[in-house]
Amino acid sequence: MIRLPLARSQQPYFKVALIGSSFFLAAASTVAAQDKASSAPTASSDQPAASRGAMIAISPLRVELDGAGSAQTLRLANTGGTAVIVQTRIFAWSQTAVGDQYAPSTAVIASPAVATIPPGQTQIIRLFRTSAVGNEEKAYRISIDQIPDAQSPEASAAKTRLRFLVPMFLDRARAIPTDLAWRQSNNGLDVTNRGGRTARIAWIRLLDSAGQVVALENNSLRYIQTGNSTVWSAPSLCQRKVTHALANIDEVQVDVPLSPCS
């Protein structure tokens, strides 16, 4: 995965918890907390841990813009006890064999780009489309980063930084629907997106002919853009005689019959 550049800082660290329909990002303010938060975040239903830093709730968790001049808003609510400065930027998002790729983009403008959110207050970020309308989906990520406050007495101390990447799609409604191809092998389950819309797969559950669940490794949320594939690892999968998969795709549960390994 390509790391996005961060303004005025060298090391991004973050902690994420999923509460209802919003993500809460907690910024801790000690080196110990920084070390614990340095691994990749996983969404959960747990309450965010207490921290002397800021906590931000972001809503919505996905943005779609269709049509010329279309616009949308993000709500950034500071639920912590200290003010937080955030920077919002737009990156074009693509996928290659080595992972997600990001590039700065002006196809959508975020305003304000930088804002200070007092404790208990909500900042509205307006997103304005500037690009032409097309018949193919275009994918972006809205990058929301915490910026250290130079006036803070803790500015020189090591602090955990916030980062969250909100998926954003342009002209998704005009693109052809998602079309997924499923294939089993001894390495695992390969899923290819042959359609025109990015597929959001929250989880997959494999069942064998006896109705028993076959475990997949790293069975977490993934996006598959058009023309791309991803593999859920499951060593010696062909020996398990899997017959079908239950999956949550774009928030809809589906039952997919699977052909035996060739």
Q: Which two tokens stand for residue 11?
A: 């090391």
Instruction: Give the model confidence (pLDDT) of 127-184 as tens digits.
Output: 999 999 999 999 999 999 998 876 665 554 445 577 899 999 999 999 999 999 999 9
CA separation for the pair 143, 87 (Å, rounded): 8
Three-state secondary structure string covering the chain: CCCCCCCCCCCCCCCEEEECCEEEEECCCCHHHHHHCCCCCCCCCCCCCCCCCCEEEEECCCEEECCCCCEEEEEEEECCCCCEEEEEEEEEEEEECCEEEEEECCCEEEECCEEEECCCCEEEEEEEECCCCCCCCEEEEEEEEEECCCCCCCCCCCCCCCEEEEEEEECHHHCCCCCEEEEEECCEEEEEECCCCCEEEEEEEEEECCCCEECCCCCCCEEECCCCEEEEECCCHHHHCEEEEEEEECCEEEEEECCCCC
Determine the pLDDT at residue 54: 59
Is the backbone peptide bond immediately before 112 cis, with ω within 30 degrees of 0?
Answer: yes
**CA–CA–CA angle 29, 39, 63 (5° rounding):** 90
Determine the pLDDT at residue 22: 41
| pLDDT of 118 strictly over 90 | yes
- Non-local (6+) Cβ contacts of 111 within 8 A are 125, 126, 128
Instruction: Give the model confidence (pLDDT) of 214-260 as tens digits.
Output: 999 999 999 999 999 999 999 889 999 999 999 999 999 999 999 99
Determine the pLDDT at residue 160: 56
| All domains in the chain, ordered by first residue | 16-174 (2.60.40.10), 180-257 (2.60.40)
Determine the pLDDT at residue 148: 83
Instruction: Give the model confidence (pLDDT) of 184-196 as tens digits.
Output: 998 999 999 999 9
Residue 206 Cα to chain centre, angstroms: 24
Determine the pLDDT at residue 50: 29
Place of tokens 């949308």: 72
Instruction: Give the model confidence (pLDDT) of 202-226 as tens digits.
Output: 999 999 999 999 999 999 999 999 9
Q: What percent of the chain shows pLDDT beyond 70? A: 75
Task: Supply the pTM of this predicted model.
Answer: 0.78
Q: Which residues, listed in sequence order, are joined to residue 191 by a DSSP beta bridge?
A: 182, 230
Q: Could you give the dihedral angle defined by the CA atoms of residues 24, 29, 33 and 35, in that order, rounded to the nearest 10 degrees?
A: 110
Determine the pLDDT at residue 53: 52
If one counts every other C-beta atom within 10 angstroms of the C-beta of residue 226, the result is 20
With cut-offs at 50, 70 and 90, classify the pLDDT of residue 125: very high
